[in-house]
A and B are shown apart, each in its own frame.
Chain A
């Protein structure tokens, strides 16, 4: 255990917590919204160019 608790210990701990919070609070929510929005956009474009408006029970 002594090898882990070296000089950079406190710095690494704070970096890991910052990274964790950044990912869960900002990065992944934003990516999720972009992903869902992109999915909607692709469906829209498919409807415009290929499929036509959504059909009955489809």
Chain B
């Protein structure tokens, strides 16, 4: 073995005796052409939709199918590698080598079933979001160039957003996450706000004649046994405890409602659409539950409003004696979620009745659960120009 290697080395190191310089150079040159051609062919072969779908047929291909990048009126498509493999050569090679880790994770059994994949989806998605965030969504912008956008052809809402995004040279994925994939399950962009508040609320001591504020939607009942449902109390709604017994209490919800239809929604104050509770039809018409007082007409809408006092029973659960932690969390959530796409308007830029329309129009862009949504909306309404000292 040693003598073989020695002989081989002698042949390598010495000028060739029998093969001419021309043949050697030509041979090396041709082999080089064939090698580089083969290398690029292999590289291209691993950069096709077919290659990706070869493994991702069950978990990724179905959710991509039918999205705007798969099927559209002009037939121009962006397939897996167009977005997920950098086009620049160095970054591309580096990404290809990185993929060895993903192949390893599959064959070593760390992520080898669709269930395990779903479990890890948020982590894996975060890797891609970090990458897109660092290169300002370069792979999107290889096609979608800000300079090539004709803003006059956009709908007014899109125009406002896209112009601002261009001014700030913003990364597309800041707003357009999940454009070609399912978002990770339970992706909670409120950052677990409600559960944090609930934990805080577990220390609350409930006493008669004190006021408490709910941290999420809470069921309310007509009777002490909690057997007849009356409706739902909204998040961030204050009630006064009038009686308590064991782990239940009777509370008083004071507010106004439109004296029209069934009068199911109790609002916080006259003429303001800040929902405190929504009652079931039967409870809304039950005089034992709802105490009625004076009627006033709202000049703006011409609708008569009536002051009411609703007495219902509920569990001693998920309420805080001090409302401030709720506003703090809601403010944080408002600032982080909304500033991702645009500078959010000041809370007191709109009045309490304008906020719901503005807010609901934006709900398609964030992942709020119903509790977080209602909580943040109420925060905005309660800090709107109607409650602010420096009115617009």
A residues at B contact (CB < 8 Å): 4, 12-13, 15-17, 19-20, 23-25, 28-29, 32-33, 36-37, 39-41, 43-44, 47, 52-58
Please tell me if the beta carbons of B93 and A28 are within 8 angstroms of each other in the complex. no
Question: Across the interface, which residues of B come within 8 angstroms of A28, CB to CB?
Answer: 31, 35
Min CB distance B361 to A, Å, is: 31
Q: Which single residue of chain B is at the shortest CB-CB distance from A58?
A: B135
Chain B interface mostly: helix
Residues of B bordering A, CB below 8 Å: 7-8, 11-12, 16-19, 24, 27-28, 31, 35, 39, 86, 88, 90-91, 93-98, 130-131, 133-136, 138
Query: Given A15-B7, A20-B27, A29-B35, do A40 and B17 touch, yes or no (CB 8 Å)?
Result: no
Is the pair B18, A13 in contact by a Cβ cutoff of 8 Å? yes
What are 11 A-B residue pairs whose CB atoms fall within 8 Å in the complex?
A: A4-B17, A12-B11, A12-B18, A16-B11, A16-B16, A16-B19, A17-B18, A20-B16, A20-B19, A29-B31, A44-B98
Q: Which residue of B lies closest to A41 (CB)?
A: B97
Complex contact A33–B93 (CB within 8 A): no
Which secondary structure dominates chain A's binding surface? helix
Kindly state the separation between the CA atoms of A37 and B96 in the bound complex, as whole angstroms: 9
Quick one: which of B11, B130, B133 has the most chain A CB within 10 A?
B11
How many A-B pairs have beta carbons closer than 8 Å: the answer is: 79
A36 touches B130 (CB 8 A): no
Q: How far is the CA of A54 from the CA of B12 in the complex (A)?
A: 41
Beta-carbon contact of A44 and B17 below 8 Å = no
Contact B8 A24 (CB under 8 A): no
CA of A51 to CA of B315, assembled, Å: 54
Q: Which of B31, B93, B136 lies in contact with A24, CB distance below 8 A?
A: B31
- Which residues of A sit under 8 angstroms from B16, Cβ to Cβ? 16, 20
Q: A16-B11, A25-B31 are in contact. List 4 more A-B contacts (CB 8 A).
A: A16-B17, A52-B134, A53-B133, A56-B135
Contact B131 A56 (CB under 8 A): no
Partner of B94, one of A13, A24, A40: A40
Q: Which of A24, A40, A43, A55 contacts B135 (CB 8 A)?
A: A55
| Residue from A15, A40, A41, A58 whose CB has the most chain B CB atoms within 10 Å | A40
**Closest A residue to B127 using CB positions:** A53
Judge whether B17 and A20 touch: CB under 8 Å: no
* 7 tightest Cβ-Cβ pairs between the two chains A and B: A53-B134, A40-B97, A40-B93, A24-B31, A43-B94, A13-B18, A56-B136
Residue pair A56, B93 in contact (C-beta under 8 Å): no
